Structure formats: C-alpha cells, structure tokens
C-alpha cells in the first residue's frame, strides 16, 4: 500500500464511520470501492492495516474509534458530551486531505484553483507557535494601517487565532499589560528571544472568544442576543455555513429565514453583516440595528457625492 496514501485513508475512515458505524468487511468494501482507492490503484485493505490506522487517527486527531460495543462488531467513533477539539480536528483533517491529494497528483493545477488573494505572514507561524508553547518573550515590528507607521512591540505570546482567512497573534503587550491581537501579515523582523515570561495569565481565551466574532478585544462587554432576518436564499446559505457557533435557527416564512446569535456586536460582525447588503436585516437589538443604519447612510452619502 502506498506510504503517502495514509491521510486519504484516515479521512475516508473517519467520514464513513461518523455517518454510520460499520463492520470491518463493510468498511473494507467501502474503501476499496471509493474513487480515492481506485485512483491510487489500491486493491487490498487488511484488518491489521485498519488497526494501525485507528491508532494513528487517535494520535493525530484525538478521535477514538472502537468496536465490539454490546456484542456489536461494528466500528464506531466514541463521542463525549462536548468534544472541544472537533473544529480543530476537522480543519486539520481537511488540510491534510487537500495536501495529500495535491501530492498524489502533480497535475492538480489544471483542475484545482485556489484563491489568489492570500494574506502573508504564515512563514512566521511555527516560530510563533514555538514561542507560545515555551513561553518565550518575542519582539517584532508591527505596521498600523490607520497611522501608516511601524512600531516595535515586545509581547508575551498566548495564542494564534484565525479570522476572516487571516491569522492573528493574541498576546499581552508588555508596555501596558493589555491583551492585543496582531495580524501576522503586518509583523516583520520577528525575534523569539531566549527570555521566558513567568506570568500565568488567568484569561481563558476559549471563553474570551466564545461569544466574539473576529479578534476584537471585547473585555468588559457583555454578549447580546442578536436576531437576523435573512432573505430566503441567503438564509439557506448562512444556515449551511454558520457565521458563528452560537447561531440558532428560529423560524421561517415564505420570504425570510430568522436566525439568532448570542455574541458581542463588534465592528467585525457589523462588517460581516454589511457585506450581505439588503439580504440581511437586524431585527434586534435596536441599538445594533441603528449602528448599521448609520453605516449604510454614510455609504449612501459617499455615493451621492460622486
């Protein structure tokens, strides 16, 4: 069996067993008849290979696959009440799937087209990840789009967060001890120092960002219930690809779909809603709806002057 085919196998196994528990013969039949196996010319899949794959899936993705549940020999994925790493595992698995597919087929550029507008800064990712894990103080220059100036920063790195197809460093600025985010695409001359910071910051970043959209600093604010009225077609798109983990379907009429969120009405979320134009309207709270009205009025006035 091809050595560079393992990630594709893992993805197929997880995808199939998540949707429906299977016995080994059923899983073998599914895999051997998949386009992925046919395309790679793989014609066998032993029970020993499955057992090795299960161990590696557990190690790489923290997903536990078991069988022999109450006399049932089918394989199933063990679930906990809350599997916090589900999103991370899914994202990692998707990335591996794409990477593995491209490695297996060098002619991919004739059939697969990536978004050409990509943010820079990902070359810093591992250095920052190392600094976070080892509590290393870092220094860098950061460019501010508003002031068009670069400033030297010295920070205690805490986490990396993705938002809007960009990556951000979440850290404590040593200058004022404030929690701040820095876009990786605006960081230059990064230095991971040998000095460690000893502070054990009490901020729970998972909780901090649980009710946020984007990377805005929302310290001292309370999340709110936000209700959107969406045009039927746009509402279906948002239902299938939720804007936020708190998104909840409320109801629908012949023309609209109503969705509820529980988060901070930040600038980032406002910009996201403005991108939908007339297809999305804020039903509540009124204060947030008024902010949107003000933005739309300003945009209209800008066009009036042209």
Q: Does the pLDDT of residue 72 top 50, yes or no?
A: yes
d(CA 155, CA 171): 6
C-alpha to C-alpha distances, 192 to 128, 136, 173, 177, nearest whole angstrom: 8, 7, 15, 19
Residue 60 CB partners (closer than 8 Å, separation 6+) = 10, 92
Share of the chain above pLDDT 70, in %: 89
Note the pLDDT of residue 2: 54
Q: How confident is the model at residue 275 (pLDDT cuts 50, 70, 90)?
A: very high
Mean per-residue pLDDT for 39-52? 90
Note the pLDDT of residue 209: 83
Q: How confident is the model at residue 154 (pLDDT cuts 50, 70, 90)?
A: very high
Note the pLDDT of residue 83: 44
Mean per-residue pLDDT for 178-194? 94
CA 153 to chain centre: 27
Note the pLDDT of residue 5: 77
Mean per-residue pLDDT for 74-99? 67
Note the pLDDT of residue 69: 64
CATH of domain 3-106: 1.10.10
Cβ-in-10-Å burial (0-12, 13-18, 19+) of 26 comes to middle
CATH of domain 224-304: 3.30.70
Of 179, 169, 175, whose CA–CA distance to 201 is shortest? Answer: 179
Note the pLDDT of residue 79: 60
Share of the chain above pLDDT 90, in %: 51
d(CA 122, CA 164): 14
Q: How confident is the model at residue 165 (pLDDT cuts 50, 70, 90)?
A: confident
Note the pLDDT of residue 91: 72
Mean per-residue pLDDT for 265-281? 91
pLDDT tens for 123-153 read 898 899 999 999 999 999 999 988 999 999 9
Note the pLDDT of residue 118: 67
Q: Which CATH architecture has domain 122-209?
A: Roll (2.30)
d(CA 78, CA 68): 12
Note the pLDDT of residue 54: 93
pLDDT tens for 6-45 read 878 888 898 888 888 899 999 999 999 998 888 888 899 9
Note the pLDDT of residue 64: 87
Q: Does the pLDDT of residue 82 top 50, yes or no?
A: no
Note the pLDDT of residue 190: 96
* Tokens of residue 102, six digits: 């491209």
Enumerate the domain spans of the chain: 3-106, 122-209, 224-304
Mean pLDDT, the chain, as a whole number?
A: 86
Q: Does the pLDDT of residue 232 top 70, yes or no?
A: yes
Give me the DSSP letters along the chain: --GGGHHHHHHHHHHHHHHS-B-HHHHHHHHHTSHHHHHHT-----HHHHHHHHHHHHHHH---EE--BTTB--BEE---S--TTHHHHHHHHHHHHHHHHHHH-GGGGGT----S---S-GGGHHHHHHHHHTTEEEEEEEEETTTTEEEEEEEEEEEEEEETTEEEEEEEETTTTEEEEEEGGGEEEEEEEEEE--------HHHHHHT-SSS---TT---EEEEEEEEHHHHHHHHHS-SSTT-EEEEE-SSEEEEEEEE---HHHHHHHHTTGGGEEEEE-HHHHHHHHHHHHHHHHHHHT-
Residue 240 CB partners (closer than 8 Å, separation 6+) = none
* Tokens of residue 290, six digits: 């008024």
How many Cβ atoms from other residues are within 10 Å of residue 211's Cβ?
A: 19
d(CA 230, CA 20): 34
């Amino acid at each position: 069996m091809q050595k560079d085919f393992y990630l594709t196998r893992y993805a197929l196994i997880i995808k199939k067993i998540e949707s429906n528990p299977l016995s080994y013969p059923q899983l073998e039949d599914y895999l051997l008849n998949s386009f992925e196996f046919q395309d790679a010319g793989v014609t066998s899949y032993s029970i020993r290979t499955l057992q090795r794959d299960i161990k590696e899936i557990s190690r790489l993705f923290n997903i536990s696959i078991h069988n022999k549940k109450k006399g049932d020999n089918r394989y199933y994925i063990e679930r906990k009440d809350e599997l916090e790493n589900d999103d991370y595992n899914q994202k990692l698995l998707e990335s591996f799937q794409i990477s593995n597919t491209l490695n297996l087929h060098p002619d991919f550029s004739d059939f697969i087209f990536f978004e050409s507008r990509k943010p820079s800064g990902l070359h810093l990712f591992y250095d920052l990840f190392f600094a976070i894990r080892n509590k290393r103080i870092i220094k860098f220059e950061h460019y501010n789009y508003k002031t068009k100036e670069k400033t030297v920063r010295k920070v205690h790195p805490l986490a990396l967060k993705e938002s809007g197809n960009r990556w951000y460093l979440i850290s404590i600025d040593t200058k004022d001890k404030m929690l701040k985010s820095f876009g990786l695409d605006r960081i230059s001359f990064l230095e991971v120092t040998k000095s460690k910071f000893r502070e054990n910051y009490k901020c729970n970043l998972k909780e901090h960002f649980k009710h946020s959209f984007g990377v805005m600093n929302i310290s001292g604010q309370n999340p709110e219930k936000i209700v959107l009225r969406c045009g039927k077609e746009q509402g279906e798109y948002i239902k299938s690809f939720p804007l936020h983990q708190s998104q909840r379907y409320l109801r629908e009429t012949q023309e609209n779909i109503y969705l509820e969120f529980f988060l901070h009405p930040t600038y980032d979320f406002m910009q996201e809603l403005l991108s939908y134009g007339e297809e999305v309207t804020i039903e509540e709270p009124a204060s947030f709806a008024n902010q949107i009205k003000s933005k739309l009025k300003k945009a209209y006035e800008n066009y009036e002057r042209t």
